[in-house]
Amino acid sequence: MNIVLLWTDMLVWILVIVVAIWGLFISRSSQVQKQWHTVFKSSIAMASAIVLLFYLLFTLLDSVHMHFTANATASNGQTVQYKAETVSLLDLIFVHNLKSTERTYSAPFATHEYSKSVIVDDKGVTRQGYLPLRYVSKKGNLVEKSLFAVLVGLFISSLIILLHLFWQSSGNFKSVFLKNWKAQSVLPWRTAYLTIIFLVVLLTWLYMLSFDYHVLGTDKVGGDVLYQSFKSIRTGVLIGILTTLIMLPVAVLLGVSAGLFGGWVDDAIQYLYTTLSSIPGVLLIAAGVLSMQVMMDAHPSWFETTLERSDLRLLFLIMILGITSWTGLCRMLRAETLRISQMEFVTAAKAFGVGNLMIILRHIVPNLMHIILISVVLDFSGLVLAEAVLSYVGVGVDPTMYSWGNMINQARLEMARDPMVWWSLFSAFVFMFILVLAANLLSDRIQTVLDPRNK
Amino acid sequence: MMGSILKVENLSLTADKEKLLKAVSFEIKKGEVFALVGESGSGKSLTSLAIMRLLPDAISVSSGDIKLRNRSLFVLPEYQMQKVRGKSIAMIFQEPMSALNPVMTVGEQVAEVIKIHLGLKKDAIKKKVISLFEEVALKDPKERYHWYPHQLSGGQKQRVMIAIALACEPDLLIADEPTTALDVTIQAQVLKLLKKIQAERKLSILFITHDMAVVSQMADHIAVMRQGEILEQAVCEVFFNAPRHPYTKKLLKDAAHRKEGREKKQHTERLLEVKNLKVYFPIKKGFFQRTVGYVKAVDSVTLSIPKGKTLALVGESGSGKSTIGRAILSLVPIAGGAVIFEKQNLARLNQTALKPYRRKIQVIFQDPFSALNPRMTIGNIIREGMVSLGVGPKERTLQDVYIKELLLKVDLKEAYIHRYPHEFSGGQRQRIGIARALAVKPELIICDEPTSALDVSVRAQILTLLRKLQQESGVSYLFITHDLSIVPAIADEVAVMKEGKIVEQGSVSQVMENPQHSYTQILLASAPKLPYII
């Protein structure tokens, strides 16, 4: 078994590590600590953050790839190495679903296929009927299994909560528990615990039942929709965070320089983003994706497996999205910088002979922080949705890659048939909706707290 | 016996259990100017909003009544109240720019009010508008009817506001700081106009202001407010001759700015000399932003700042006085002339060569709210200049000690070092700004209207602090102001500026008592004065 490092895996882990280090670094400032403390005083923010953490957990689980080499003895006695497929940690968890591919559509919790097929029975009589599903167990009933799964879920979540209480209390365990439970603690831990219990129970229930059923049904070629939805998390979250990562430095650098230096710098940057933003975004992205496609076809040596190819395509898509989406933020930052650079504290800094770089870092960027933060989170939601739209149009991620956009794209024809195949679309929608909603709620709270004018 | 127009009885307002107004009572008679005086936050504007029934939702009336011609306003349904507003009670605001709709011509805006309340025919309305414009002494009223607000000057806009207020012949005019945003000469004109109209129409005016001198010119009856309470009510002459409440006495004393007994030395040493200074701003037009002309903001100005003394630079807005300050600091490009400091022409130096002089020349700003970075602690704000210019100790803990000393020096508390600017009032912020400038031990501080955004009593405190610091450290000030009344209190010499040029410079007593130039004479005549020095 060796670990495989894909490009996007590397980027996302670097980002997580950088954010963690930065978090440690700034948490030494009591002011910053106080601010984030205030952010999480709101129970909505707490719940949203926990939901986002679960999404991040799935992304990270799905961002550790490895491949196994299978040894087999060939007929002439030599050992032959077969290269197996590259899989991620998430695939290992859902390995039963990976193997349990049905023939075609089946509804959630169904025991038979969704449409009739021709069956030839033992006597040679041909008739129309629903074929039973291959990987659905007939033993036990749904209610019993569900109850058992819920109990396991409760056990796991209470374990997590106990661990947290233990870490928090350092001794007088009971009083801390009572304080948290009666919602007397400073941070809304009760909401946090309830969210964790709800999420863990839901996830264990989904997971344990996925051994015996296709909990969210199967798609056209019999793939498990639950598994696809979980795999799509990585694509969505990656596009959301990595694109902002590429876009942010460009937007901040150009926006602040345009606003602060004025003159020809301002003119050049303004003409650049006016030109960029007057070309329809989808057209620009489609052109970028198509030329990238041509380039990848010309250099097959860049990737060895289909997984690497789709990963490379994802990376290019992220770059193209980043390059086309900085104009809005840049324009906002330029306007705000113009306003701030006229403020007297900037004049005071100039009168102290403070250099331009320090003025930008100390006086301008901190005062732009709320705009940057809010637009990052808003863009995050927008980009998750944009991925869906682009994949639907056909210029998004690789068709072999699991993504909510591809799921919707594949489900779109089935919306018209009667009875409707609704579960693919529904699952993609619910997973995407929860992510975007949580991100928006958290960003709302962050903005309220971080903007000094709201105090 | 004149009839009562408006009667406010025991009016109390609350917001979240906090009492904003406490049993305010007063009465305005017909043809009387009633002045409500107080510092910001004293509740004078709230009173006027309560009269118009335009209070924000969060504020509720807890007790009391307001009667317009013996009819209670609080029991009226909203549709009747709408008729009262504009028709019986009209209002003019401090900021004429934001009170006028920028996409309608001023004539239409006056016409709209007349149409709503009087229901006249189209031609009659236009005639009425033009006669109103004539009444408020707007030049070429027929022409001005079709102008947009941005084409008018501040004073003209305020005249249009007055025309709108007068359009329906109201019983009561509420004037909420109507001249605060205007220059002295324009203020004098607008006040004269208001006085004239009031006399002609027998109008009652509720005049809200913080400026004691304006009150003394305008009011028949005066009420002083503080923290939601009326402390004292009196007829104008009685009020200024024999104020009873200690707060009133203090207000009048602070407003008077008695001339300090500043010793006069002949031929003091000169710290900084400005010779033929020119600052031109290019006007750019077209696709390629070509320079098509220049605005001469400062045009051949020559002045000198005495060492250890204060030169006041007086002028109206747009006269270029702030630009001179910025040019001395080398913050704007200088088109010509010299700024000579310690025999060195600062105008010729580049940024690196300028750095040693940055320490010696510092600045204090007008707006205490934009002068401090909201994201930095007070300690870091003061530290910035010290670190950048290498003044004071290098070690952080020693710097903290140094900063704490400075805070004590400007009468603030040591503990403020870790706080953020939004926790402080305007006066405290101004002190922090002064401490920031003092941190680098400057020899010259350019004070760019440091008191014009402050209340009267706070202004007096800041001026006292500036004087104290000058006596202690011998620092010189270039004191830029539009307010002539504070000049004797702070300055030794004064220079008067108009349209980019210095028209007169000399010692304070010379210029203030015996002005030579006609513009200085107009300025001095326009400035509202307190009638009696207590």
The secondary structure of A161-199, three-state, reads HHHHHHHHHCCCHHHHHHHHHCCCCCCCHHHHHHHHHHH
Residue B183: both structure tokens together: 């220059």
Q: How far apart are CA B394 and CA B407, in angstroms?
A: 18
Give the model's pLDDT for residue B1: 43
Tally of CA atoms within 13 A in the half-sphere of A280 that contains its CB: 4
Put simply, the answer to whether A31 touches B377 (Cβ < 8 Å) is: yes
pLDDT digits (tens, 9 = 90+) for B321-380: 888 988 998 888 888 888 888 888 888 888 888 888 888 999 998 888 888 988 888 999
> Which residue of chain A comes nearest to B350, CA vs CA?
A353
pLDDT digits (tens, 9 = 90+) for A313-344: 888 889 888 888 889 899 999 999 999 988 88
Put simply, the answer to whether B440 touches A455 (Cβ < 8 Å) is: no
Distance of residue B137 Cα from the nearest chain A Cα, in angstroms: 36
pLDDT band, very low/low/confident/very high, at A79 (cuts 50, 70, 90): low
Q: Give one word for A32, left, alpha or beta, with left for phi > 0 and alpha for psi -120 to 50.
A: alpha
Domains of chain B by start residue, with CATH: 78-256 (3.40.50.300), 306-332+344-526 (3.40.50.300)
ipTM of the complex: 0.77
Q: How far apart are CA B342 and CA B514, in angstroms?
A: 33
Put simply, the answer to whether B289 touches A366 (Cβ < 8 Å) is: no
pLDDT digits (tens, 9 = 90+) for A82-121: 556 778 888 888 888 777 788 888 888 877 788 788 888 7
B513, pLDDT greater than 60: yes
A366 touches B: beta carbon within 8 Å:
yes
Which of A347, A350, A367 is facing B375, going by the closest CB pair? Answer: A367
Eight-class DSSP state of B423:
G
A345 touches B: beta carbon within 8 Å:
yes
User: In chain B, which residues touch A (CB < 8 A)?
Assistant: 289, 326, 329, 331, 351, 354-355, 358, 361-363, 365-367, 370-377, 381, 384-385, 388-389, 420, 422, 433, 436, 440
CATH class of this structure's domain A2-64+224-454: mainly alpha
A353 touches B: beta carbon within 8 Å:
yes
Put simply, the answer to whether A353 touches B351 (Cβ < 8 Å) is: yes
pLDDT digits (tens, 9 = 90+) for A284-308: 888 888 888 888 888 888 777 788 8
Which residues, at least 6 apart from A184, have a Cβ–Cβ distance to it below 8 Å?
A: none
Distance of residue A367 Cα from the nearest chain B Cα, in angstroms: 7
Give the model's pLDDT for residue B534: 43
Distance of residue B490 Cα from the nearest chain A Cα, in angstroms: 23
Which of B370, B377, B385 is facing A343, going by the closest CB pair? Answer: B370
Put simply, the answer to whether B351 touches A349 (Cβ < 8 Å) is: no
Is the C-alpha dihedral spanning A229, A231, A233, A236 positive or negative?
A: negative
Query: B-chain residues within 8 Å CB-CB of A352?
Result: 358, 384-385, 388-389, 440
Report the pLDDT averaged over residues B188-196.
Answer: 88
Q: How far apart are CA A110 and CA A88, in angstroms?
A: 28
Tally of CA atoms within 13 A in the half-sphere of B440 that contains its CB: 32
Q: How far apart are CA B438 and CA B409, in angstroms?
A: 10
A362 touches B: beta carbon within 8 Å:
yes
pLDDT digits (tens, 9 = 90+) for B426-483: 889 999 999 999 999 999 999 988 888 788 888 888 898 999 999 888 899 999 988 8
Task: For chain A, give every residue range classified as CATH 1.10.3720.10.
Answer: 2-64+224-454
Give residues 24 to 43 of A whose Cβ lies within 8 Å of B.
31
Is the C-alpha dihedral spanning B187, B188, B194, B197 positive or negative?
A: negative
With 0.90 as the threshold, say if the pTM is over it. Answer: no
A352 touches B: beta carbon within 8 Å:
yes
Q: How far apart are CA A298 and CA A149, in angstroms?
A: 50
Residue A115: both structure tokens together: 């449409």
Give the model's pLDDT for residue B223: 92
Query: A-chain residues within 8 Å CB-CB of B384?
Result: 349, 352, 354, 362
Q: How far apart are CA B390 and CA B224, in angstroms?
A: 49
Put simply, the answer to whether B436 touches A452 (Cβ < 8 Å) is: no
Which of B361, B373, B440 is facing A363, going by the closest CB pair? Answer: B373
Q: Give one word for B235, left, alpha or beta, with left for phi > 0 and alpha for psi -120 to 50.
A: beta
Query: A-chain residues within 8 Å CB-CB of B282?
Result: none
